[in-house]
Structure 1
Amino acid sequence: MKTEGYAPSNSIVFKRATGVAPLREYLTTLGYVKEKRSLEEKEIWSKPDRLNGDLFFLYCNASTGDVELTKVMIHLVDQLCHSSALTPCQCAHSP
């Protein structure tokens, strides 16, 4: 499996959501913390005790009311890069 430079991710879109507060509370209960940086209009959530842990992006489209929650599985890329399944030239995260 090649990573092609991007970590695998999954997204859920909540149509006409009433807000992002319930998802922020959910991420907080899982031990995630909102980072001070963002990716364009997306909030970035990470676990402070995990340097290479999974991330969540939280985005609210104000014009449609849709909220998108995306999980980026960085740990999976780490596991693939350090397994025998990939050679260093196949892994975008290799030194």
Structure 2
Amino acid sequence: MVVKKQMLNQNSTSIETAPDFDTSIRIEMALYENGGSRGKYLNMAFNNLLSIPIPPTSVESERAFSSSGYLCNHLRSRLSDKTLDTLLFLQSHYKAQPKI
């Protein structure tokens, strides 16, 4: 985790830079929940979470789900999860290949 690495790389001996990351975050979260402000490590964790691009919906996942419905129907209902994953991977791989 990026925040944990940043915390461990600091060379300060103050109480704020305790070596136990989980304990520091829990203390800062408890203080924040009781009406305080975000501490240094909680703020770093918050900023790192905001920097992760997570789309609210994904067209690719919807397409994969739809494709799995075509592959796994009442005639092919005994396909294992691994086989279905492999078939979907191969289908997407070959669709991405340039046409010759």
Structure whose CA Rg is larger? 2
Higher share in helix: 2
